Amino acid sequence: MAIDSSSLFGSLFEAPAVTRVVPVLVPLPVPVAYSYAVPEGVHVEPGSLVQVPIGPRQVIGVVWEGDNDEKLDPKKLRPITLVFDCPPLSKEMRDFIDWVASYTLSPPGLVARMAIRAPAALDPEAMVEGLRYIGGQPERMTPARTRVLDLAKTQDHPWTRSGLAHAANVSSSVVDGLTAQGVFETIFLPPPPVVARPDPDFTPPRLEGPQKQAAQDIVSAVHKGGFSAALIDGVTGSGKTEVYFEAIAESLRQGRQVLILLPEIALTPAFLERFEARFGAKPAEWHSDLAPRMREKVWRGVVTGEVRVVAGARSALFLPFEQLGLIVVDEEHDPAYKQEDRVFYNARDMAVVRGRIGDFPVVLVSATPSVESQVNGLAGRYNTVHLPTRFGEAALPDLHLVDMRRHPPERGGFLSPVLLRGIKRTIEKGEQALLFLNRRGYAPLTLCRVCGHRFQCPQCSSWLVEHRFRSQIQCHQCGYAERTPEACPDCGTLDHLVACGPGVERIAEEVEKHFPQARTIVMSSDMLGGVKRMRLELEAIAKGDVDIVIGTQLVAKGHNFPLMTLVGIVDADLGLSNGDPRAAERTFQLLSQVTGRAGRTGLKSLGLIQTFQPQHPVMQAIVSGDAPAFYEREIEERQKAILPPFGRLASLIVSADTRAEAETHARGLRAAAPSVTGISVLGPAEAPLALVRGRHRFRLLVHGRRNCDMQGFLKAMIAQGPKAKSSVQIQLDVDPQSFL
DNA sequence: AGCACGCCGACT
DNA sequence: GTCGGCGTGCTC
C-alpha cells in the first residue's frame, strides 16, 4: 500500500501523533539500523520495503526488528515516506541477511541492498493493452481488413496490436483503423509471465549406471526435505547436470522454487537450452548485464512465486524467493563465486548458509571441487556423491607430460617438437587441436635491448603486456593502455624492443609459421569484435571450420567442440609460483577443465602438457588421474598454514585475495582492537614473503573466503590486549565449519 | 554510498 | 577577487 505523502504531516495545530518507531535498514555503510517514525494509520511489519529520507534524498530500506536507539528523541524522528506494495522480506531472508552481515563484518544495510536491487520492480507492473473483437464490420472493406477480421473471428482471444498486425501480415495502422471503426475494443491484460512454468515431467530422464544412484541419493534428500548439503563430484562429461536436474524436478513437484547458481561465464544459451529440453521451459536468468526491465520482471516474479526456477550468477543468491526449496551451485570451485567488493562473500558458502536457515537442501557440483568442499565432504558435513566415469561414448583423453628440459622448443619458440608433431597428426586427420595458454596478448614483458628498460605501468607498476593485434601495450592489473612505442622511452633507440615470454598471440605466430595452411584462431577475452563475434567464432569452431584454436581460459569453460581431439597445454607451470596459497589447487582445476574439452564425442583424443616440473604434484595428479591423492596433499598443506598457537600479539599481517579486501578487514580490526599496534596490510602474494622474513609474529590469512572466525578472533584480541601471552585460534578457510 | 562543508591553487 | 581540487564527516 502506497501512502500519500501529504497525509504525513497532519494539520497545522495538531502535532502528528507518533504511534510507533521502527528500525529500518538503509543502504549505507553504517553498522546499525536507523530509526523512523511510522505515520498513523500506516501498517509496516518486519521485512516491509519502505522509502525513507536520508538527508536530502530518498532511499529504499527494509523494516527490521530489534531495539531502537533510545538516545534518539522519537518526536524528532523523520517519518517513513512510503510503504511499497510488495510482500515483506521473510523471516528467513532477514535472518540470512543478518547472518551474512555478521559473518562478513559488513554493514547489514549493504547486504540488504543486494536483496532489493531492482527498485523500479517495486511499482506495480503496467498492464498490457490488448484488443478484443466485438463484432461488426467497418464501413469500407479492403483485402488487408478482411485478413485481420478473418483471423480475429477464428481465434477469439485478446490480441495485442502488433501481434494481430503481424499475424495477419498487415501494418499496424490497419488494426488501428479497425479499432477506430469500433470493430475492436481496447482492454487491459495482466502482463505476460516472464518465463513459462517448467514441467518436472516434460522429458523423462535417461540416466545410466552411477548416474542413477547419484540421482536417487540427492532426489531422496530433496524428497525428505529439510537442510542437507551434497557435493556432486564427477569428471567432465559424467552427466552431473542430468543428475542435479532430477533434484530440481523433485523440488518443482513439491511446489517449491529452485535457484541454480552458475559462474557468469557459464550462463550460456547452451545451458538454458539444455534446461528447456528437460523441463519444457527456460529458467529465468539473473546476471549483471540483464536489461533493467527484465531485471524488474524477474525480481517481481521471484517474490510473487510466479518464477519457479532462476539460473543466475552469484548475486542471484540474494533474491527474495517466496518459497525457495533448493539451491544448486554448479562449478562450485569457480573463483567467480567470490565477490570482491563492498560486501566480500563467497556465494557457494553463503548458499549453504541460506539452505540451513531456510531448512532446504543445497547441492554443490564440480568436476574439480574446491579444497574447502572436499574437507567438508570428508568431515561428513557434506554428503559426497561420486560420478567417476564419463557418460555414453565419451572417453577421457590420453594425457602425457612433455618434459620441456628433455624436449626443448627451437630457439625463440615455445612449442616442443612433441607438441608440434601432435598438432600435425591431428590436423592431417581433419580433427582439431586446442593450444591453451592462460596469458593474453603477445608477450608479458617488453624490454629495450640497448639499455634494459622495462615497460612498466605508471599507475600500478606491474609489467605492461604487448598486444600486437591492437598495437598496444596494456596493464592487465588496472587497464592502463598506450600505443606500442617504436623507440625506447629511456634511451631513444629505435627498433630495439624485445618481447620476453609468450602470450596467445605469440603462440599463434609460431603456429602459423609451422602450419601456414591451417585455419588458426586466437580466442581471448580481449578479442576484437566483442561477445557477438566470440559467439560466432565458437560456433564456427564447433562446426569444424577451424583447425587450430589458441586460447586463454575462456575456451576452458562450457563449450563443446566435437572434433577437438588434441589439447596442448603450452605452459602448465604458469600460475604455480605466484605466491597464491591456492596456486596448486587452481592450476589443477584449470588443467583438468582444459583437458576435459577433448574427446567428448568418443573420438580417441590426446592431451600434451608442457612442463618444466614433471614431478610437481599437480602434474602427477593430472596424468595419473589420482585426484584423491592430490586433494589429500593439498588439505595437509593448507592445514600446515594454520599456525600453531603463538606467543605475543606483537604485530599482525592482514592479507586477503585482494588488497582492497585486506584493507576492509584491517579497518575492522583497527576499530575493534585499537590497542593492537603494527597492523600491516599486504596483498595476497606478499604475506608469505613477509612471514618468511620474520617481520611479523603471526598473521591472519583470509585468502579467498571469509570462513575464518573473524568475530571470535576480534573478541580474543580485545580480551587479551596488546602484550598478553595469547593463544588465539585462527581458523583458515580450509575448515569452514563455522557456518554449520 | 552520496553529499555536504572546508580549506588552498590557477583563472574569467 | 572567484572556481574548483578532493580531504573529513554525517545521514535516523
Single out the residue in A139, A161, A189 at which a domain terminates.
Answer: A189
Spatial distance from the CA of A147 to the C1' of C2 (Å):
72
Percent of chain A with pLDDT over 70: 80
Query: Quick check: A162 pLDDT over 90?
Result: no
Spatial distance from the CA of A663 to the C1' of B8 (Å):
30
Nucleic strand C near CB of residue A143 (< 7 Å): no
Over chain A, what is the mean pLDDT?
82
For residues A557 and A392, the model is more confident at: A557
- Is residue A200 assigned to a domain? no
Q: Which residues of A are annotated as a binding site?
A: 448, 451, 457, 460, 475, 478, 488, 491
List pLDDT tens digits, range A505-564.
Answer: 999 999 999 999 999 999 998 887 777 888 888 889 988 999 999 999 888 876 778 889
pLDDT of residue A151: 82
Read off the pLDDT band of A105 (50, 70, 90): confident
Average pLDDT over residues A115-119: 77
Amino acid identity, position A433: A
pLDDT of residue A453: 86
Cα–Cα distance, A61 to A56 (Å, whole number):
15
Nucleic strand C near CB of residue A472 (< 7 Å): no
- Is residue A660 assigned to a domain? yes
At residue A278, the 3 state secondary structure works out as helix
Minimum CA–C1' distance nucleotide for A77: C12
| Residues A28-34: contacts with CB under 8 Å, at least 24 apart | A28/A54, A28/A59, A28/A107, A28/A109, A28/A110, A29/A107, A29/A109, A29/A110, A30/A107, A30/A109, A31/A107, A31/A108, A32/A69, A33/A64, A33/A66, A33/A108, A33/A109, A34/A61
- The answer to whether A681 and A635 are in contact (CB under 8 A) is no
Minimum CA–C1' distance nucleotide for A26: C12
Nucleic strand C near CB of residue A36 (< 7 Å): yes
Average pLDDT over residues A402-424: 97
| Judgement on whether residues A378 and A232 belong to the same structural domain of the protein | yes
pLDDT of residue A685: 52
Through-space distance between the first and last CA atoms of chain A, rounded to whole angstroms: 39
Cα–Cα distance, A654 to A665 (Å, whole number):
7
pLDDT of residue A35: 94
Q: Which residues of A are annotated as a binding site for Zn(2+)?
A: 448, 451, 457, 460, 475, 478, 488, 491
Minimum CA–C1' distance nucleotide for A342: B1
pLDDT of residue A5: 38
Average pLDDT over residues A629-641: 81
Cα–Cα distance, A345 to A261 (Å, whole number):
14
Amino acid identity, position A581: P
Single out the residue in A391, A422, A457 at which a domain terminates.
Answer: A391
Spatial distance from the CA of A28 to the C1' of C9 (Å):
14
| Continuous segment of H or E residues that includes residue A176 | helix A172-180
**Which of A25-39, A55-69, A165-179 tops mean pLDDT?**
A25-39
The cell for A16 is 502528528
CA Rg value for chain A: 30
Nucleic strand C near CB of residue A436 (< 7 Å): no
Query: Quick check: A309 pLDDT over 90?
Result: yes
| Judgement on whether residues A603 and A664 belong to the same structural domain of the protein | no
Give burial (CB, 10 Å; 0-12/13-18/19+) of A8.
middle
Nucleic strand C near CB of residue A606 (< 7 Å): no
Query: Quick check: A638 pLDDT over 80?
Result: no
Spatial distance from the CA of A56 to the C1' of C3 (Å):
25
Query: Quick check: A499 pLDDT over 50?
Result: yes
Q: How many CB atoms lie within 10 A of CB A557?
A: 16
**Chain B bases under 7 Å from protein CB?**
1-4
Nucleic strand C near CB of residue A28 (< 7 Å): yes
pLDDT of residue A158: 80
Nucleic strand B near CB of residue A55 (< 7 Å): yes
Read off the pLDDT band of A31 (50, 70, 90): confident
Nucleic strand B near CB of residue A342 (< 7 Å): yes
Residues β-bridged to residue A611? A403
Place of cell 582445476: A589
Nucleic strand B near CB of residue A57 (< 7 Å): yes
Query: What's the domain range around A288?
Result: 209-391
User: Kind of pairing, strands A309-312 and A652-656?
Assistant: unpaired
- Is residue A480 assigned to a domain? no
Minimum CA–C1' distance nucleotide for A28: B1
List pLDDT tens digits, range A336-347.
Answer: 998 877 888 889
pLDDT of residue A461: 64
| Judgement on whether residues A619 and A531 belong to the same structural domain of the protein | yes
| Judgement on whether residues A281 and A371 belong to the same structural domain of the protein | yes
- The answer to whether A711 and A102 are in contact (CB under 8 A) is yes
pLDDT of residue A436: 97
- Is residue A531 assigned to a domain? yes
- Is residue A462 assigned to a domain? no
Domains: count for chain A: 5
Nucleic strand B near CB of residue A29 (< 7 Å): yes
Average pLDDT over residues A448-467: 81
**Chain C bases under 7 Å from protein CB?**
10-12
| Judgement on whether residues A411 and A381 belong to the same structural domain of the protein | no
Nucleic strand B near CB of residue A341 (< 7 Å): no
User: Kind of pairing, strands A432-436 and A564-569?
Assistant: parallel
Spatial distance from the CA of A476 to the C1' of B8 (Å):
36
Q: What are phi and psi of A608, to 5 degrees?
A: -115, 120
| Judgement on whether residues A145 and A266 belong to the same structural domain of the protein | no
pTM: 0.84
Minimum CA–C1' distance nucleotide for A54: C11
pLDDT of residue A623: 94
pLDDT of residue A437: 96
pLDDT of residue A690: 44
For residues A701 and A83, the model is more confident at: A83
User: CA angle, A96 as apex, A94 and A102 as ends, to 5°?
Assistant: 105
pLDDT of residue A235: 84
CA dihedral A21, A22, A26, A29 (to 10 degrees): 90
| Judgement on whether residues A15 and A136 belong to the same structural domain of the protein | no
Minimum CA–C1' distance nucleotide for A32: C12
- CATH number of the domain within which A719 lies: 3.30.70.600
- CATH number of the domain within which A529 lies: 3.40.50.300
Least confident of A50-64, A505-519, A531-545, A716-730: A716-730
> What count of residues does chain A have?
740
Cα–Cα distance, A681 to A687 (Å, whole number):
9
Percent of chain A with pLDDT over 90: 44
**Which of A186-195, A366-375, A616-625 tops mean pLDDT?**
A616-625
Q: What are phi and psi of A489, to 5 degrees?
A: -70, -15
Spatial distance from the CA of A664 to the C1' of C2 (Å):
39
Nucleic strand B near CB of residue A667 (< 7 Å): no
Minimum CA–C1' distance nucleotide for A55: C11
User: Please, which residues have CB within 8 angstroms of residue A317's CB and are 6 or more apart in sequence?
Assistant: A259, A261, A327, A347, A350, A351, A354
Query: Quick check: A503 pLDDT over 90?
Result: yes
Cα–Cα distance, A531 to A512 (Å, whole number):
25
Read off the pLDDT band of A392 (50, 70, 90): low
User: Please, which residues have CB within 8 angstroms of residue A662's CB and are 6 or more apart in sequence?
Assistant: A654, A655, A656, A681, A682, A683, A702
Spatial distance from the CA of A259 to the C1' of C6 (Å):
44
Cα–Cα distance, A392 to A238 (Å, whole number):
8
Read off the pLDDT band of A620 (50, 70, 90): very high
Q: Cβ within 7 Å of strand B: which of A 267-286?
A: none
Read off the pLDDT band of A58 (50, 70, 90): confident
| Judgement on whether residues A214 and A182 belong to the same structural domain of the protein | no
| Judgement on whether residues A674 and A536 belong to the same structural domain of the protein | no
| Judgement on whether residues A422 and A536 belong to the same structural domain of the protein | yes
CA dihedral A177, A178, A184, A187 (to 10 degrees): -20
Minimum CA–C1' distance nucleotide for A29: B1
pLDDT of residue A123: 59
| Judgement on whether residues A266 and A234 belong to the same structural domain of the protein | yes
Place of cell 569452514: A736
- The answer to whether A17 and A99 are in contact (CB under 8 A) is no
Read off the pLDDT band of A45 (50, 70, 90): very high
Least confident of A178-187, A249-258, A287-296: A178-187
| Judgement on whether residues A176 and A320 belong to the same structural domain of the protein | no
Spatial distance from the CA of A37 to the C1' of C10 (Å):
20
